[in-house]
Amino acid sequence: MKKIWILLAFLPELLIGQNPSAERIIEQIDRNMASKSRILTATMVVHAERGSRTMEMKVWSEGEKRSFTEYLSPARDKGTKMLKLADQLWLFSPSADRIIQISGHMLRQSVMGSDLSYEDMMDDRKLTDVYKATVIGPDVLDNRNCWVLELRAKAEDVAYFMRRMWIDQERNIPLKEEWYAKAGKLLKQTTLTDVKKIDGRWFPTRMVYKDMLKTGAGTEFIINEIKFDETIPESLFSKAALR
Amino acid sequence: MIRFILKGLLRDRQRSLLPVIVVVTGVFLTVFLQCWMTGILGDLVDFNARFTTGHVKVVTKAYFERIEQTPNDLALGETDKLIGSLQKEFPDMEWIQRIRFGGLIDAPDSRGETRSQGPAVGWGIDLLSPGSKEVERMNIKKSLVKGSIPSRRGEVLVSDQFADKLKVVPGDQITLLGSTMYGSMTVYNFTVAGTVKFGSSVLDRGAFIADIHDVQLALDMPYAASEILGYFNTNHYERQQAAANVTRFMAGSDPNDPYAPVMVSLRDQNGLSSMVDYMDVVSAIFIMIFVMAMSLVLWNAGLLGGLRRYGEVGVRLAVGESKGHVYRSLVWESVLIGLIGSVIGTAIGLILSFWLQRHGIDVSAFMKNASMMLPAVFRAEVTPSSFYIGFIPGLFATVIGTSLAGIGIYKRKTAQLFKELE
């Protein structure tokens, strides 16, 4: 039945033999992946030059604007919490008993030594608001038919001037992303695998982020459990919840 | 003859005063310029040695390749053992470990939340061990503006300008937010013991110094350090000895191991070799041009002196003095004038240079936005060559000038002499 709906959605393009519009593809991704809220537990493995580090965490998020993260292990990081409210980010360290606001140039630093920066974590604007998207054409990635999208920045204040995305044509999920600087240099690469059907939607449960300017083999983010549209207490999204 | 000429010079001021003043001025300027140029170059090298490069530095091969990023994930391990073997192998040097790192310094309000913050560079140095020379080497006592030098663990020195920006004073708590050696996040509290003025605009904008043991704890670096610095026991950079030590150390280093320690000399860090060579050449050319210019001036003075005394020479020839005797007496006169002028000029140049060597000139006002690590006070430096360099223009140029002017004596014809005198 779902296949029929997808077929109908892309029917106009199929009839005239053209690629679907980028806006339509992004809309389909949002329809598949977006949710009112998410609660997930995940394992983050940072493969640095001198070995790998594994962290366990629990994340509560509501839309794209609000999220609360608590690190569960290892012992050194246990109890570290992060709160994101729109464009503001706070961090609580139990060892120092301090709430520190992350802002300015610190946003470009890596999150817990991973290949992701706070800035990457903070970017919650809609892709279509920030980028002008075009479909480059079809491609095959890991035996899956994909659309390749190229997104060029409309706004000046974006961290990555150009993004290239490989979108699974059937499941409406990104399988690979490349983030470029204005000069055309590849800065970061993400691959999304282990796609599972959870609560009626396709969702990648393993993501590998690679900062191309860093040595090491990248950062794995593995979702162990994810729940969509659960009710999250309002009190969690406040600075009081950090301590 | 010399005593006779000397008496003549002292009694006839017209013959000696102006040439001596010209020689003194030229020699003074030459000596002072040489001391000043040497001093600036020496200050640059010494400042870098004390703060960043040491006379030699030991780091891992991988760290050295990206040294400008201070990548502590590539830092040296088991530094206690390494220092022990370096002390045994190279007893002519003192070996110390340091950690250089970057991070965010955050000052809390009364609720423990961010009140102010800013990026900073940090140093972990041996502040607390008895007998450590680090406080003296980094000139911390003289640089202290407020508070005191850390006397216990957990205390830190912050650059005064940065402390003002953060609105912290001695006794306040600050928090370091940075990365450990293994890449995980670290949040570590320090207490401000004092504030310092480093004397370098780059550091004064945002730097702090903590005891290395605190930094090792904060950055999860037990028995590890970014770098081990070696300083000659003489406290002076000895270029050839440093190169010999590097060669000896590198003979035992594994070129295929990225974490193998490598030794680099001061010249091979921070682009100092090209800078030192460039400044060496520039200052040599500058001094050479100046010495040549002064030589021409003094040569000309010698020539003028010879020509001015055209009549006197004629009379002396007329009364029967031989041409060779007149010529030799003029040359000896110029030797005495050059010698007296050079001694006085060198003495004045050295006095001023010694004064500037002690006090220096504060140029910090011109370097507010400098991004290079440069000392804020430049000093002159008196070297052995400062004692004789002024004699090149002062003595030799004057004598050569007079010798050339004196050749005219041999062209004089006695038959024309009385006509000239009339």
User: In chain B, what residues touch A80 (CB-CB under 8 Å)?
Assistant: 185
Question: What is the pLDDT, as a whole number, of residue A124?
Answer: 66
Residue B29: predicted pLDDT: 87
Instruction: Name the closest residue on chain A to residue B73, using Cα atoms.
Output: A50
What is the mean pLDDT of the segment spanning B263-283? 77
Of all residues in chain B, what percent carry a pLDDT higher than 90? 39
Tokens representing B277 are: 């060579």
User: Which pLDDT value is given to residue B2?
Assistant: 65
Burial class (CB in 10 A: 0-12, 13-18, 19+), B234: exposed
Report the pLDDT value the prediction gives residue B413, as an integer from 0 to 100. Answer: 65
Q: Which residues on A lie below 8 Å from B183 (Cβ)? A: 46, 48, 53, 110, 113
Residues of chain A positioned with their CB less than 8 A from the CB of B175: 96, 98, 100
Choose the closest CB to B183 out of A53, A80, A93. Answer: A53
pLDDT level of residue B325 (50, 70, 90 thresholds): confident
Q: Which two tokens stand for residue B172?
A: 């306040």
Q: Measured between alpha carbons, how far is B77 from B99 in angstroms, rounded to an integer?
A: 12
Average pLDDT taken over every residue of chain A: 87
Residue B250: pLDDT over 90? yes
Candidates B69, B76, B113: best to mutate against A (most CBs of A within 10 A) is B113
Q: Report the run of H or E that residue B117 belongs to, with start and end.
A: strand B114-125
E strand residue ranges, chain A: 37-48, 51-62, 66-73, 81-85, 88-93, 98-102, 131-141, 144-153, 162-168, 174-180, 186-198, 201-211, 218-228
Mean pLDDT for all residues in chain B: 84
Binary contact (B180, A95; C-beta < 8 A): no
> What pLDDT, on the 0 to 100 scale, is given for residue A156?
78
pLDDT category, B323, cuts 50, 70, 90? confident
Contact (Cβ atoms closer than 8 angstroms) between residue B121 and residue B203 = yes
- How many other C-beta atoms lie within 10 A of the C-beta of residue B92? 11
In b/e form, how buried is each residue of B123-140, taking b as 16+ CB within 10 angstroms?
bbbbbbeeeeebbebbeb
The pLDDT-based confidence of A3 (bands split at 50, 70, 90) is very low
**In the prediction, which pLDDT does A16 show?**
45
Q: What would the two tokens of residue B368 be? A: 């507010």
pLDDT at B213: 95
pLDDT tens-digit series, residues A174-227: 999 999 998 899 999 999 999 999 988 899 999 999 999 888 889 999 999 999
Q: Are residues A101 and B73, on separate chains, in Cβ contact within 8 Å?
A: no
User: What local confidence, expressed as pLDDT, does residue A55 receive?
Assistant: 95
Higher-scoring residue by pLDDT: B239, A208: A208
Domains and CATH numbers, chain A: 19-57+110-230 (2.50.20.10)
Q: Cβ separation of A101 and B181 shorter than 8 Å? A: no
Instruction: For B116-171, write each residue's pLDDT tens digit.
Output: 999 999 999 999 999 899 998 888 888 889 999 999 999 999 999 999 999 999 99
CB contact under 8 A, A110 and B104: no
Most confident of A150-159, B115-124, B248-257, B328-337: B115-124
Q: Which residues of B touch A (CB under 8 A)?
A: 62, 73-74, 104, 106, 108, 111-114, 117, 119, 175, 177, 179-185, 187-189, 220
Predicted confidence at residue B116, as pLDDT, reads 93
Interface test with B, best of A98, A110, A117, A215 (most B CBs within 10 A): A98
Q: Do A96 and B189 touch (CB under 8 A)?
A: yes
Query: What's the average model confidence in pLDDT over B255-276?
Result: 83
Of A129-138, B83-92, B287-296, where does mean pLDDT reach its minimum? B287-296
DSSP letters of B44-79?
Answer: HHHHHIIIII-SEEEEEHHHHHTGGG--GGG-BS-H
CB contact under 8 A, A76 and B220: yes
For B187, which of A50, A96, A104 is closest by C-beta distance? Answer: A96
Indicate whether B70 pLDDT > 90.
no
Residue B403 confidence class, pLDDT cut points 50, 70, 90: confident
Q: Which residues of chain A from 35 to 94 reach within 8 Å of chain B, CB to CB?
A: 46, 48-51, 53, 76-77, 80, 91, 93
ipTM score here? 0.80
The Cα–Cα gap between A163 and A156 comes to: 14
